[in-house]
Structures are given as structure tokens and as C-alpha cells.
Amino acid sequence: MKAKFQIQDMLGIALTMVVLVIAVAYGLQVTGDVQEDMTPGTAEYNATTDGIEGVSKIPEKLPMIATIVIASIVIGILVNYLWARFR
């Protein structure tokens, strides 16, 4: 199975990244609000703290994920172009 990307595919990927960032930010806000309702030291409070820490790791990795996606699309376009040109 071959996957082919074109320049117009970048818009869909960019919008997906934007939606992901908004969802993560909203999720962190909701989890923080829920944590405020918990009693410190309980299992529920600890679970929300761990959840916030886990979800907050995703935005740290987004620049790397975006770079890899963009690089793979550019490399794919170049390979297709060069393959067609020198074939």
C-alpha cells in the first residue's frame, strides 16, 4: 500500500494539529477544574494530578510531531518528483 501526499494535503494536517492543540488545552482546563473540587491527599486528587501531568506532556511533543509530519510530506513529494523526472 502506497500513501501519496500532495501540497494541498498540508491544510488538512495543519487543521488537525490545531484541533489537537485546542482539545488538549481544553482537556487540561477541565481536568484542573475537576482537581479543584477534590480533597488533597485522596486517591481522586492524586489521579487528577497524574492525569494533568500526563496530558501536559502532549503539547511538549507537538513541535517535534509537526516537524516529522511536514518533513515526511516534503520528502515524499521530492521522491515522487525525482522518480518521475529521472525515470
Q: Coil, helix or strand for 62?
A: helix
Query: What are the residue boundaries of the structural domains of the chain, listed by start?
Result: 9-85
Contacts of 10 (CB under 8 A, 6+ apart): 70, 73
pTM equals 0.60
pLDDT digits (tens, 9 = 90+) for 64-77: 888 888 888 788 77
Question: For residues 64 and 70, what is the distance between their CA atoms, to the nearest angstrom?
Answer: 10
pLDDT digits (tens, 9 = 90+) for 8-39: 777 777 788 888 888 888 888 888 888 888 88
pLDDT digits (tens, 9 = 90+) for 42-65: 898 898 889 888 888 888 888 888
Per the document, the length of the chain is 87
1 has pLDDT over 60? no
